[in-house]
Chains A and B, each alone.
Chain A
């Protein structure tokens, strides 16, 4: 059974203070690892897909990396508008369902 564990559960940063979120996973035959952002009262918003170890993707202040056991979402010089819950999910095997972690609640103070 696919499993995803995210840490920390919550992270509070000052504006401009860079940090990383962790996503550890176990999956049989990784098809893709996904990062989403979720704002309060809204559905998850897709950010990145990573397919294989060593891959990196960037978008503005966010960079996602992937190893065989975990993924990191690096946030460089965050701004208050980066405050949200960040979700990690994996897709593996022969079906297309996504298994999610419980998320990391990021708060960036001005």
Chain B
């Protein structure tokens, strides 16, 4: 199916464990993003990528690692999960054009760190 998919949809992990959230898009969009959404904070950008092998930090990057070896995939890794990383994580992608370009979002991953 075309679009952007995230996996898993739900994840419970323990403090200190490494966790990887997956994101796959079928549009061949250049840009991909990871956001977290928390009550009172809204959507905050963690990392983004302009193309394969090009990544950059967003507003809240500490404790997260990303990679983008292929255009269609943009995994997000929590190297040592902490309770403060309990959140809903959204992946998004957008095409590269001359003007403003909307981003399309996945369905989200709800992560609980216990």
Contact call A32/B105, Cβ cutoff below 8 A? no
Q: How large is the interface on B (under 10, 10 to 19, 20 to 34, 35 or more residues)?
A: 20 to 34
Residues of B within 8 A of A33 (CB): 100
A-B contacts counted at CB < 8 A amount to 66
Contact call B102/A32, Cβ cutoff below 8 A? yes
Q: Decide yes or no: A98 and B103 within 8 Å by CB, A43-B90, A44-B90, A87-B43 being known contacts.
A: yes
Residues of B within 8 A of A42 (CB): 107-108
B33 at the interface (CB under 8 A from A): yes
Closest 6 pairs (CB-CB, A-B): A32-B100, A43-B105, A102-B42, A31-B100, A100-B43, A96-B31
A residues with CB within 8 A of B: 30-34, 36, 41-46, 49, 51, 87, 89, 91, 95-103
